[in-house]
Structure 1
Amino acid sequence: MGFVEYISSKQWAVAGSIILPLVFFLSLCILRDTTPETQSTFQNLKETAFPESYRGLPLEVGTALARYVSSKVIPQQTFDEIMMTVRVLAARGPCNFLVFGLGFDSVMWKTLNHGGRTVFLEETEDWIKQVTGKNPDLEAYLVRYNTKLMDAGRLMDHARKNRNGKCRPVQAIRNSTCKIALSYLPKKLYEVDWDVIMVDAPRGYFAEAPGRMAAIFSASVMARSRKNGTTDIYVHDVERPVERQYCEEFLCRANLVEEAPTKRLWHFRLAPQLSGSSSKSFC
């Protein structure tokens, strides 16, 4: 996830884009399990929000707030885009959150899933060392993609021709021989049912880049192949033709639940897909 240097006069805009989602997330966590009656009066709200056992913000959350209020960089996603994920993490968390991409905003994503497991997949080894060197608590893994953006059309043809076989929607992705299946991730990651998946990497803006074809296809298969529970999948940069085409092919318009005002982020919700005749169709 790329970050760009920003002038210091915009520092409060930076703080707002990160801190407001964090504060909103904490508020939702407080209110998530309360009843309408509890929320009807200020006194009950106060008692719910500040029980006797309350000891302040967790250190992880406080550290993230301090980090971003003093930052001179801005996240790749806008406030409205970030809030789309904040709302789901607040409702589902703590959960299993898989993020394609690693950056300076990774601490934010991990913090928003406080108490859950957040894993980052990154294509550049040096970048992993740089980011995790400053943030050793991040769980990140190197992925060496074997795809190229310029082959997106050919890979789509391959997937369509093999949708009843090696590229079927329900399968153990770790054993797949489909050319756009991520069958080479660390084995322990296949043992997890991922509740939320964000595709904001790898790079997909020049011909030799890996593109996000494999990430989108694999996220779809992972979601459809779990035994129970839905999976929320976010794909960024859908204004680009390859991301849009692969989303429509493998995640499906029927599963699209929200689009960011920027038109650059789509949110899908997929349910498990039973094996059998229906498992041969994505959409």
Structure 2
Amino acid sequence: MSAFLTVGHRDWPSYLLSLRPKPTISGPTTPIQLQAILHYATSKVTPQQSLQEITKSFNVLRSCKSPCNFLVFGLGYDSLMWASFNPNGPTLFLEETPEWVTTVLKDAPWLNAKTVSYRTRLKEADRLLASYRHVPDCLPGKAFLKGNRECRLALENLPDEVYEREWDVIMIDAPRGYFPDAPGRMAAIYSAAMMARARKRVGNTHVFLHDVDRKVEREFAKEFLCLKFKVGGVGRLWHFEIPPNNSTSSTKFCD
């Protein structure tokens, strides 16, 4: 962000201007950053997260060694902002509603967004949390994602790009989780934990979870992302830094 906020900064909304850090990044402005400047300078729509919440993720993305692989559960008014924070690396958005993907990409066709389906419903959250331990393919020592039909918490039918890449930063701000028949974020949280544990590259995986004021997000984060890996939080956002763990004998996520 600091690479391009000095360009046309008088036209930026004060909400985004206040994000400006001391300039520490040099290099040419990228097309996605210019698109972000144009979009937010001419729009009254502000991102869904607060300034303090956005700043947490921004600082991690800024410190990430290029290229940074950034996976975002959700597509919205802030997607162009997130992509512009990671101009030299791939940013992939996963969205549950095909119609919404079409709507967003109509105005921002350069974003990489895919539609995904979920097998869970929010009203099942308590039962899924209590029963997953009895499903061998859900346990960390044996679990996997792609093609895992036995574990309903596993996102088994994502685009191949998700499975083929190791993600440095994962943002969970979707799917919907505020009414009983919504998919809820149970599977997204579980699958993010699985991706982080399976990492083979050097370093840990940063996972940001939004809306932790809600019970399901909190309880599933405690179970799968683990409070011992929680390194920060502000507002409704928790930040986890999860190390790789490829042990085949593990039966718990938070041993």
Question: Shared fold (TM-score greater than 0.5)?
Answer: yes
Structure 2 residue corresponding to 1:255, chosen from 206, 229, 237: 229
Question: Which residue is equivalent to 1:178?
Answer: 151
DSSP 3-state at the match of 1:209:
coil
Equivalent position amino acid for 1:17 in 2:
Y
Tell me, in whole angstroms, the C-alpha distance in 1 between the residues paired with 2:238 and 2:176.
17
TM-score normalized with structure 1 length? 0.80
TM-score normalized with structure 2 length? 0.89
Instruction: Indicate yes or no: 2:25 matched with 1:29.
Output: yes
Cα deviation 1:151-210 (Å, max 9, x = unaligned): 001111221223xx2112254311322111000101232010010000000000011110
DSSP 3-state at the match of 2:174:
coil
Tell me, in whole angstroms, the C-alpha distance in 2 between the residues paired with 1:243 and 1:70.
34
Runs (5+) with no aligned partner, structure 1: 1-11, 31-53
Structure 2 residue corresponding to 1:244, chosen from 218, 224, 234: 218
Question: Which residue is equivalent to 1:38?
Answer: none
Structure 2 residue corresponding to 1:133, chosen from 106, 120, 123: 106
Residue pair 1:19, 1:68 contacting (<8 A) in 2 also: no
DSSP 3-state at the match of 1:267:
strand
- Give the percent of matched residue pairs that are identical in Structure 1 and Structure 2: 45
Question: Which residue is equivalent to 2:180?
Answer: 207
Tell me, in whole angstroms, the C-alpha distance in 2 between the residues paired with 1:274 and 1:251.
15
- RMSD of aligned residue pairs (Cα, Å): 1.8
DSSP 3-state at the match of 1:120:
strand
Tell me, in whole angstroms, the C-alpha distance in 2 between the residues paired with 1:281 and 1:69.
47
Larger Rg: 1
Deviant stretches of 4+, over 4 Å: none
DSSP 3-state at the match of 2:137:
coil
Structure 2 residue corresponding to 1:59, chosen from 6, 9, 31: 31
Instruction: Indicate yes or no: 2:81 matched with 1:81.
Output: no
When residues 28 and 168 of structure 1 are mapped into structure 2, their CA distance, relative to the original with a 3 A threshold, is farther
When residues 244 and 28 of structure 1 are mapped into structure 2, their CA distance, relative to the original with a 3 A threshold, is farther
Residue pair 1:169, 1:280 contacting (<8 A) in 2 also: yes
Question: Which residue is equivalent to 1:47?
Answer: none
Tell me, in whole angstroms, the C-alpha distance in 2 between the residues paired with 1:194 and 1:185.
14
Displacement of 1:60 after TM fit? 2.3
Aligned pair count reads 240
Equivalent position amino acid for 1:244 in 2:
R
Runs (5+) with no aligned partner, structure 2: 1-9
Residue pair 1:235, 1:266 contacting (<8 A) in 2 also: yes
Question: Which residue is equivalent to 1:15?
Answer: 13
